[in-house]
Structure 1
Amino acid sequence: MSEEETLREEAEARLRALAGEGARLRDDQWTAIKALVMDRRRALVVQRTGWGKSAVYFIATALLRELGEGPTVIVSPLLALMRNQIAAAERAGIHAATINSANPEEWEKTYAQVAEGMVDVLLVSPERLNNPDFRDHVLPELAESAGLVVIDEAHCISDWGHDFRPDYRRIRTMLADLPPGIPVLATTATANARVTRDVAEQLATGAGPDEPEGMYGGGPPHDTADFDDTADAGLAGALVLRGPLERDSLHLGVVRLRGAEQRLAWLAKTLHELPGSGIVYTLTVAAAQEIAAYLREQGHQVVAYTGQTEPAERLAAEEDLLANRIKALVATSALGMGFDKPDLGFVIHVGAPASPVAYYQQVGRAGRGVEKAEVILLPGAEDREIWAYFASLAFPPEPVVRATLQALSEQGVMSTAALETRVDLSRSRLEMMLKVLDVDGAVRRVKGGWEATGEPWSYDADRYARVAAERRAEQEAMLGYITTTECREEFLRRHLDDETATPCGRCDNCTGEHRSPEIAAEAVQAAHERLARPGVEVEPRRQWPTGLSDLKGRIKPELSADPGRALGRLTDIGWGTRLRELFAAGDGPVPDDVFDAVVAVLKSWSWAERPVAVVSVPSAARPVLIRTLTERLAQIGRLAYLGELGYRNGPPGSQFNSAQRVGAIRGTLAMPRDVAIRIAEAGGPVLLVDDRVDTGWTMTLAAAQVRHAGAPAVLPLALATTT
């Protein structure tokens, strides 16, 4: 028996241990394993969800360990993915451990176990790759001793992909620094031809000295018309294994309903009819929480799952779904790549993702181990607005980037908080930009913050524009999916450049079996009443932002506001829809329906002491709206109307981080003398009214001025909040 035949027999035995006695390696699985174990090559596997990509790297790990090689290092993006992979590895007799943000207390123990050879697989989150201690002390040793390196969900490397992540770009540098002969495997289920080529080039070559960096640090754009995606395709030394993406268990459908209450009522009814358990995806955290609350009221066992859910609660929710103790998780994209439940019976989207590729990736969670899984999209009128919001978080304009580099050049090492006082970006966008600049070599993360490297850096505006155009094209394609009368699965697979795609014969368009959008009037009314229930709590700011010279630590109790209320969140599917319409319409008197809802919020407010007066924050965009709202509240509530605060030299404009915002508001917001006198004379709690709360700093500083004028308490009230 040849060496290759012996190795394949061992690989087949490992697969049976992992997946059961009837399991057999697919041809491309064996091709990948052979390339890694025998040829020590770099390979990219682009195969559909459920195909068995994790089996490739676990079997390759076992075979390499038998040959005396070091542990496998897997870069894995999500905690849910890591937990599933560790469980799968144990079934194959492989000891796996993980290093991520949820288990810092275990890091030192894990490092020691790796050094002692007790760990076969180490899963690392991409963010760890640029932690200074890990990057400088742990990573070099891991890279030197690794037997195999795996990049899971490798489409995240490419800025052309639907889920690009700056931290993944660091992998390119890591691969370039690997000693010769260490095999590398990259896997993904959601890469079109352009993304496949981009990832394969990075996998094969690393960053070349003459190759321009792309958006957020990538390579140049490529013409993929002639890309060869056959099983034997090689690209600059990387083996590319790309297969058909058909999912013969998925039954795709779209149900178009008029409004949010119809979608909610339809969902509550349809969940009773769907098989097994599944996932209900939403586009925002607020929608996930709101929908989960309503479904529970309707008797469904569901749990909300978002990026704001605590790690322990996430784990419990995943386990409940895996054990079929709940009907569904109502989730954002935080529950995405790698969540493995073979018998998942359905995936429903309340709101459409921004691209067909992202949508196909998420629906791929369903139907891995069942003959039929229902996949239903409930598009909403607000989807475009949500897409536009996320698109606004793209890479900042060049002057902002240059200001950051200039600040670091002048000041040396600066923390992110200190940079906020010099760079007008939100914390999340600033950190994203710094990660990109770090990957590009313009800055470096060190203990205490960031420092400039002095290396030249160019702003590739043309590429950024092309990627933005690609995103817009994807959005238009998603709208095309909603309205197409052709096969839905073929439509999605074509957008993944799967040239083998043919009509599936299963979707609603192929069969002509469309789910009815009709729903009982009483069910719609119940959903309407739930969505129309006004009021959300707005927590006041308690700490001044870091980086300010004269405002530090906790806000003094004698200057702080009480917990406030808003009519609704702008991202809600209930009052959020009405508030978005109101703000889009421009300025004008407060509409009666909005005013009545605000009164209902006040009636349900359990304040310690009833307010005796009302004052408003000046609104540059909607002065008539806020003035009429405040005056009518004073009249109906028998409150003293004290007027409004003012601005010196006009409103503060737009700022995007806390330090910049506080500085701008302090320089403009003013307390008119006559208003201050009336506040002191009122002698009781004051209701402070604004149109919307974004960062919360305008309300915080306005409340401080009202408290300073003599109000014993301030009760913030806004029409909308974005938090």
Structure 2
Amino acid sequence: MSNLELRDEADAVLADLVGDPGGSARLREDQWQAVAALVEDRRRALVVQRTGWGKSAVYFVATALLRRRGSGPTVIVSPLLALMRNQVESAERAGIRARTINSANPEEWSSTYEEVERGELDVLLVSPERLNSVDFRDQVLPKLAATTGLLVVDEAHCISDWGHDFRPDYRRLRAMLAELRFGVPVLATTATANARVTADVAEQLGTGAGEALVLRGPLDRESLRLGVVELPDAAHRLAWLAEHLDELPGSGIVYALTVAAAEEATAFLRQRGFRVASYSGRTENAERLQAEGDLLENRVKALVATSALGMGFDKPDLGFVVHLGSPSSPIAYYQQVGRAGRGVDHADVLLLPGREDEAIWRYFADTAFPAESQVRATLSALADAGKPLSVPALEALVDLRRTRLEIMLKVLDVDGAVRRVKGGWVSTGEPWVYDSERYAWVARQRAAEQQAMRDYVGTSGCRMEFLRRQLDDEGAVPCGRCDNCSGAWASLSVSAESLSGAVKELDRPGVEVAPRRMWPTGMAALGVDLKGRIPVGEQCSAGRALGRLSDIGWGNRLRPLLAEGAADGPVPEDVLRAAVAVLADWARSPEGWGSGAPEAVARPVGVVAVPSASRPQLVDSLAQGVASVGRLPFLGTLAFTEANSGHVAHRSNSAQRLRALSAAFSVPPGLADALSEAQGPVLLVDDYTDSGWTLAVAARLLRRADSDQVLPLVLAAA
């Protein structure tokens, strides 16, 4: 078949893919170059092109052509679950049979594996975390590597730890690349790779298979009009959104930095009459599907989303993207705004930065690779165990939070130092070198990205050019469309009525604090005799906090008060009033003592404080103030014991926190007498709860000292 005939066949597949059979749809020259490299030359190629360029068209067209020529199925590795669902539907239009394997559909895995075995699938979309599953890695992956006709790595920048969004699960692809048969083409795609990341990914793709072809295009998005709206505070930003959301074209996405902020914004916009849906890591899968469908069909004005949505949403007519708060990386920002304007001539992109943004960046910044001593401790623990250790069991031996521990183990797995097996992790005994220079460079890169995001907000130059230069786009020039090129186009106006409503929404205090029900695994290894389910008679009850440190309402008020190094002092009057208001609302709730419901708890008989080494005045004045206003006796404060190490375990894992806290407190005689005399539920007052272990340990002591129930009341929750 001639090159021209192959091109005609490719265009016919594209026409079916876009729902225009017999129409005029044709691959652009750059898309055709990528398809030809895969189908004719069977090469490994890296495509770095702007969002909306049509990368998925390349791999679906190539799949159809390769399948017709007897090749095995295409395997697409992608982290974008929402996009996976969109792509399965698109593939079906072109007669391509596609299925997915991801964390949201475990009930379908067995049948999908069987379809792969029978050769009935043309495309298998796999989420990267599956690559690190023991069963998938040992049983499914070798078969895929032996039969795959085309391997596609979507969001390929995730392979490189030089990039803004490195994901250790992607490193498993190195093994799959090495196991592919000779001549199997590979396509890696991304829109967010600078020059260094591009070179790193290309090198990994070409390992053992010759030099990879790199097809890099300009990253301008001619449909996007970028702007920044700087407003005084969170209330003004919410009010602005309610006032101007209807002016934005079509339907779109409103990104928030935290789950709490997304939920706050969703609640407020709904109160103002907008049809919006919340989308975050806390959203159930069924609700995610509903939200995605509602946005695709324009049944909602916007999804109010966290980065859980990422850029994994394929809606060509998305009319706007608004950020309530700055992401910490301009590259991540470019990735997210790139969802807008893919199939329309005009889309608006607005950033509403907040003064709390950097505090939130710091809050989520605990992602650097652990110190060498912590890595060596983990390797030693695995080597000494002589059997597989689960992550919870390792937590008792290594002072790392679970997320960091899991990421570290995945990196060590790919480096060959550990291996994931049934039952947990084992040491391979292979030598391993701590690459301190590389890890330090990555940490500096993260700091540079944060500075670049500050610079983006403050620049007087072209905003699109700024983002393109962050991605090393050599063709970056002024766009002529953004607020700096053509003048500010977004109004700063906020009505008094909208602002008042936003202030009222953000000033409403009160979130539930869930209690701990189970002790962490492996405490015996730390010399602590606590395991299994916490006895009902020793459990803490559900409590209340004024707000979460990650929200944009009370979080903004509480973060300075509870910041490390903040001066201690009496609780501010407005904070005390809010705590009393939370207590009153709690009493009126269905489970509260003032509701009159049969299942409601009895009215508290007194207030007990948790001792504080860093903020004793704050906690004591809060407890005394609540007791006074609530007309409850202040029964006393738990005491520190000699065993209290003074260890501040805010960034430790659960096992290490409980070890530090398990014998840290005691019930002094005066408090014990007061509890015995009071006979009833008590309010347990503290300034902050993160893991919940301080409250669990304190509640256990109080329950053993004759308290019927322990009801926590804290200023802030994590």
TM-score calculated relative to the size of structure 1: 0.94
Aligned to 1:568: 547
> Aligned to 1:601, which of 559, 579, 582?
582
1:210 aligns to what?
Answer: none
Which of 646, 651, 667 is equivalent to 2:639? Answer: 646
Separation (CA, whole Å) in 1 of partners of 2:549 and 2:110: 44
- The 8 Å contact of residues 249 and 370 in structure 1, kept in 2 or not, is answered as yes
Q: Does 2:120 align with 1:124? A: no
Instruction: Extract unaligned runs of 5+ from structure 2.
Output: 593-600
Whole-Å separation in 1 of the counterparts to 2:516 and 2:431 = 40
Task: For residues 347-369 of structure 1, give each alpha carbon's deviation from its aligned partner in whole angstroms, at most 9, with x where no partner exists.
Answer: 00000111111111100000111
CA distance in 1 between counterparts of 2:686 and 2:89 reads: 51
2:352 matched to 1:352?
no
Residue 701 of structure 2 aligns to a residue in which SS?
helix
Q: 1:591 aligns with which of 564, 572, 593?
A: 572
Partner of 1:616: 609
Q: Is the 8 A contact 1:94 1:120 kept in 2?
A: yes
What's the secondary structure of 1:605's corresponding residue? helix
Contact 1:421 1:547 in 2 (8 A): yes
Indicate whether 1:277 and 2:251 are aligned. Answer: yes
1: distance between equivalents of 2:260 and 2:509? 14
Query: Which of the residues 659, 662, 672 maps onto 2:658?
Result: 662
Alpha-carbon distance in structure 2 between the residues aligned to 1:559 and 1:341: 51
Q: Secondary structure at the match of 2:607?
A: strand
Shift of 1:274: 1.2
For 1:687, what is the secondary structure of its paired residue? strand
Distance 1:236 1:377 in 2: 43
**1:207-256: CA deviation from partner (whole Å, max 9, x where unpaired):** xxxxxxxxxxxxxxxxxxxxxxxxxxxx9510000000111110110000
1:153–1:337 Cα contact (<8 Å) kept? no
Aligned residues of 1:612 and 1:640 also touching (Cα < 8 A): yes
Structure 2 partner of 1:156? 158
> Secondary structure of the residue that 1:621 maps to in structure 2?
coil
Correspondence for 1:632: 625
Of stretches 580-589 and 524-533 in structure 1, the one that deviates more from structure 2 is 580-589
Matches within 5 A, 1:464-483: 464-483=439-458
1:29 is paired with a residue whose SS is helix
Tell whether 2:10 aligns with 1:17: no
Task: Deviation per CA, 1:477-501: give whole Å up to 9, x if none.
Answer: 1111101111111111111111111
Opposite residue 514 of structure 1, the aligned amino acid is: W
Can you give the 5+ residue segments of structure 1 that lack an aligned partner in the other structure?
207-234
Give, as a single letter, the amino acid of the residue that structure 1 aligns with 2:615: R
Letter in 1 for 2:65: L
Give 3-state SS (helix, strand or coil) of 1:523's partner.
helix
AA partner of residue 653 (structure 1): V
Native 8 Å contact 1:590 1:628 kept in 2: yes
Give the superposition deviation at 1:55. 0.7
Does residue 305 of structure 1 match 2:279?
yes
Q: Which of 351, 363, 367 lines up with 2:341 in the alignment? A: 367
Task: Give the Cα–Cα distance (whole angstroms) in 2 for the partners of residues 597 and 391 of structure 1.
Answer: 30
Q: Distance in 2 between matches of 1:631 and 1:688?
A: 12
The aligned residue for residue 294 of structure 1 is 268
Match of 1:107 in 2: 109
Q: Which residue of 1 aligns with 2:595?
A: none
CA RMSD of aligned residues (A): 1.3
Contact 2:316 2:342 in 1 (8 A): yes
In structure 2, what is the equivalent of residue 186 of structure 1?
188
Q: How far has the Cα of 1:385 moved from its partner?
A: 1.3
Question: Is contact 2:640-2:666 (8 Å) kept?
Answer: yes
The equivalent of 2:137 in structure 1 is 135
Q: 1:580 aligns with which of 559, 569, 573?
A: 559
Residue 323 (structure 1) aligned to one of 297, 308, 318: 297
- For the residue of structure 2 that corresponds to 1:248, the secondary structure is coil
Q: Deviation per CA, 1:603-641, whole angstroms, max 9, x where unpaired?
A: 111322211111111111100100111112222222111
Contact 1:278–1:328 (CA under 8 A) maintained in structure 2: yes
Moved over 3 A (4+): none
Number of residues paired by the alignment? 693
For residue 229 of structure 2, the aligned residue among 249, 255, 270 is: 255
- Matches of 1:22 and 1:325, distance apart in 2: 31
**Which residue matches 2:678?**
682
2-side partners of 1:666 and 1:674: how far apart?
21
Per-residue deviation at 1:393?
Answer: 2.3
Deviations 1:565-599 (A, max 9, x none): 00110111011001012123321011101111111
AA aligned to 2:10 is A
> How far off its partner does 1:674 sit?
2.1
Q: Is the 8 A contact 2:146 2:179 kept in 1?
A: no
> What SS does the aligned partner of 1:272 have?
helix
What TM-score comes out, normalization by structure 2 length? 0.95
Matches within 5 A, 1:330-479: 330-412=304-386, 413-479=388-454
User: Deviations along 1:249-298, whole A, 9 cap, x unmatched?
Assistant: 10110000000100010011111211211000011111111111111111
**Partner SS for 1:24:** coil
Task: Give the share of equivalent positions with the same residue, in percent.
Answer: 65
Moved more, 171-180 or 703-712: 171-180
Post-superposition shift, 1:698?
0.4
Q: Residue in 1 aligned with 2:596?
A: none
List per-residue Cα deviations over 1:457-480 (Å, max 9, x = no partner).
111111111111111111111111
SS in 2 for 1:553: coil
Residue 527 of structure 1, CA deviation = 0.6
* Aligned amino acid, residue 405 of structure 2: L
In the other structure, the counterpart of 1:220 is none
Residue matched to 1:213: none
